[in-house]
Structure 1
């Protein structure tokens, strides 16, 4: 069990957004069993509450996450949680969109937590990377699966084989980081991005995310059928009618999530 004196993960609701904060700054928010369970519980809360449209994952103390808590691992704690995998997020994230808000650094498993999110906001000068090879380990928490789909082959190989971190600016140039923020401003920038998303239809958001994520597994022959199975119910929803009516009437839509 963890000896942390306060919750390892904090949650706060802000206008339809659930801010999920890794709260172990004394160990640079390293992932132990309590963090994994806390993130998993927060994602369950996000997906299970119709008042929440989006989640933001961030870290306390001026940094995002240093990866797995090796000391806790040696003591027998597991940083994996159920079918959600490493940190309670790497294998199965949320149905709703997630934004990572990175300060300081996101390395090893910490970078993999960020890569499990759908959008990434990082402070200028933040360091991101997968240094596992320096310890004769492998970045098996998702980085080697996600990065080849998001970055050029040779860039991924350099990251994986050297283990050296890169500044957020380089990841921004490669498209992995959506927005850069001044140091100390990553969460504010993530909230600004979230505000542009949460005003949209919740059914459309969830369906769009599902299609973008799953289409890599579809053949050319089946992609239209599978996309239609996900998007079809959105087009026939009450929210779709409301969106069209609101546009025609020049007013803001009122979503019902059905």
Structure 2
């Protein structure tokens, strides 16, 4: 992969796709080229049955500084089709995605992290949504998701005053799954990905789909959406293997083909 590419993609371990924002000279600010490259990497993650989980991180000691304001006057907001910022914030991606945050996760890039399923962060990192300070709105999920993830008044202070949130406070509020020493957020994300991969792929992927598709529904409507997704999982080879492994007090030996079939 060319070091000048706006996004670098690698498979550091079998089943894991590492997506690295690669514009360190501007703290990985999102322009249109980077947005389309992230979208392409996420499409690869969803389409490849060998891949189970993705990690999104940034090069050069920072996650991302948000939308590239130098490019904004000519390029506009770097959304991709109806999938939102960088093809993520409005998309329903099938497979788990972990944000590994070092340094700053600001504005649109914080919105990318909020669109991920899990977050690891260096204890020196911070999160911020300073859109109002630029005459803009946190319209790619920040104003919608943040008040659902942390206490309302803390979220409103961030949204209305542009006050940053240090990663240790974000962890205390439950926004960050794991804190790590500076420079080790990616290591923490890889360890978390390994924990996800220890389980049946179809069970993990369908669980994510159920959470996404039932959000905001009442119980009756949620079961109506959930059951067509969950019922096939109970009839898979891996469901049987999980039960046998439990009764035989041994680790399960998961089969890999059914996950790709259910993901389609």
- The question of a shared fold, defined as TM-score above 0.5 by the shorter chain, is answered with yes
Q: Which residue matches 1:66? A: 65
1:92-103 map, 5 Å: 92-103=91-102
| Aligned counterpart, 2:110 | 111
Change (3 A) 1:141 1:241: same
Aligned to 2:261: none
Does the 8 Å contact 1:202/1:257 carry over to 2?
A: no
SS at match of 2:202: helix
1:42 equivalent to 2:41? Answer: yes
User: How far is the alpha carbon of 1:165 from its aligned partner?
Assistant: 0.7
Identify the residue that residue 74 of structure 2 maps to in structure 1.
Answer: 75
Q: Secondary structure at the match of 1:50?
A: coil
Shift of 1:18: 0.3
Shift of 1:215: 2.4
Query: Structure 1 residues 236, 163: CA separation in 2 closer, same or farther (over 3 Å shift)?
Result: same
TM-superposed CA distance for 1:37, in Å, is 0.8
Instruction: Write out per-residue CA displacement over residues 189-247 of structure 1, whole angstroms, 9 at most, x where no aligned residue.
Output: 10011101012111111111122223223223222232222211111122212322333
Task: Indicate how the Cα distance of structure 1 residues 5 and 53 shifts in structure 2: closer, same or farther if over 3 A, else same.
Answer: closer
Gaps of 5+ in 1: none
Q: CA deviation at 1:97?
A: 0.2
Structure 2 matches for 1:1-258, cutoff 5 A? 6-13=4-11, 14-76=13-75, 78-249=77-248, 250-258=250-258
SS at match of 1:81: coil
Could you list the runs of 5+ residues in structure 2 that have no partner in the other structure?
A: 259-264
| Superposed displacement of residue 139, structure 1 | 0.6
Structure 1 SS opposite 2:95: coil
TM-score normalised over the length of structure 2: 0.92
Q: 1:110-144 CA deviation, whole Å, 9 max, x = no partner?
A: 10011110000000021101011112211111111
SS at match of 2:56: strand
Distance, in Å, in 2 between the alignment partners of 1:29 and 1:254 is 38
Larger CA deviation: 187-196 vs 224-233? 224-233
Q: For the residues of structure 2 that align with 1:245 and 1:40, how far apart are their CA atoms?
A: 39
- 8 Å Cα contact 2:241-2:252 kept in structure 1: no
* Contact 1:10–1:22 (Cα < 8 Å) also in 2: yes
CA distance in 1, matches of 2:146, 2:133: 19
* Cα distance between partner residues in 2 of 1:225 and 1:102: 36
SS in 2 for 1:197: helix
The alignment partner of 2:231 has SS state of helix
SS in 2 for 1:67: coil
- Give the whole-Å Cα distance in 2 for the aligned partners of 1:231 and 1:219: 18
CA change 1:216–1:110 in 2 (3 A) is: same
Structure 2 CA distance for partners of 1:242 and 1:187, relative to 1, 3 Å: same
